[in-house]
Amino acid sequence: MPNHPPPATRHQLTIGWLYPDLMSTYGDRGNIICLQKRCEWRGIATKIINIDPSTSEHGLSTIDLLFGGGAQDREQTLVMRDLRGSKKKAIIELIEHNIPSLFVCGAPQLMGEYYEPAKGERIEGLGIFAMHSKHPGPAADRLIGNTVAEVSWNNLGEPDHPQTHIVGFENHGGRTYLNRSAKPFATVVKGYGNNGEDRTEGIVHKNAIGCYFHGPLLPKNPVIADWLIKKALEVKYQTKIELAVLDDKVENRAQAAIVSRLGVSV
Ligand code: GLN
């Protein structure tokens, strides 16, 4: 990355991180680090709010960009014991007011209508995403492996975006099924995606992305990190934003290497 001092700080973003002690089982904290660094390199100040049982409704209202990582079924149940009432309402309001968000794996399952875990009761979701998820049970194979998918940029409001594909790693037992009206985040080229059947990967609702890709997703696919940062600044400052271009040679070489190793042509 650039070895010159970042430009003077002009903008600031508050990033909300959903239950980091319960939902970072698959290294998804790397997405927070990526967002922080790609802001810092551009002179954008960041503040991280760890969302947990002590977080107030007011605290949630200050969030400009929301992130939730992956979790095991038990932790998802614990999170949903807290994510209800005024806290649930505040999260829904953020999304409905176009706050950009990234939810990975266990997190989007909770943002959907419901998640039926491998064992135990159905977990009612926040109903933000028009989808539901079901784990076929402890004996079922988990959907695990390196992944490549073509981003549905049209659904992200950028039909002409030049970067076509993303790479990642998935590890989930739950299968997700989009409602007919829902917009997928991407189309699977290699891997399972939402359910290993319909080649959809993730979901988009307003500026919220649900995605099954760990990796972590953002360091492997900086275009998605920049889309989130740009959207967050535009929504917060109510103006068009052009982000300074960063030197992503290393990230792009790493992405090309995994695509080639998987024998995929994109
Ligand atoms: N516990 C959920 C499942 O197995 C989510 C897993 C994850 O976040 N990687 O599908």
Q: Which tens digit of pLDDT belongs to each residue from 31-63?
A: 999 999 999 999 999 999 999 999 999 999 999
Residue of 34, 105, 135, 211 marked active site: 105
Tens digit of pLDDT for each residue in 69-89?
A: 999 999 999 999 999 999 999
- Percent pLDDT > 70 in the chain is 97
The H or E element containing residue 23 is none
Q: What's the pTM?
A: 0.96
pLDDT for 8 equals 64
Could you tell me the strand order of the sheet in which 114-116 lies? Answer: 123-124, 114-116, 131-134, 175-178
Mean pLDDT of all residues belonging to the chain: 95
| 105 is known as an active-site residue | yes
pLDDT at 7: 64
Q: Is 139 helix (H, G, I), strand (E, B) or coil?
A: coil
pLDDT digits (tens, 9 = 90+) for 228-260: 999 999 999 999 999 999 999 999 999 999 999
Q: Give the mean pLDDT of 112-123.
A: 97
pLDDT tens figures, 143-175: 999 999 999 999 999 999 998 899 999 999 999
Pocket test for ligand 1, best of 72, 142, 176 (most atoms within 8 A of CB): 72
DSSP string, 162-219: S--EEEEEEEES-EEEE-TT-B-SEEEEES-TTTSSS-EE-EEETTEEEE--BTTHHH
Q: Cβ distance 202 to 218 under 8 Å?
A: no
d(CA 100, CA 64): 7
Left, alpha or beta for 263 (phi > 0: left; psi -120 to 50: alpha)?
left
CA of 173 to the centre of ligand 1 (A): 6
CA 45–ligand 1 middle distance (angstroms) = 32
CA distance 192 to 197: 7
180 C-beta neighbours (distance < 10 Å), count: 5
DSSP structural state of residue 3: -
On the question of pLDDT at 2 being above 60, the answer is no
The residue with greater pLDDT, 110 or 162, is 110
Residues in the chain: 266
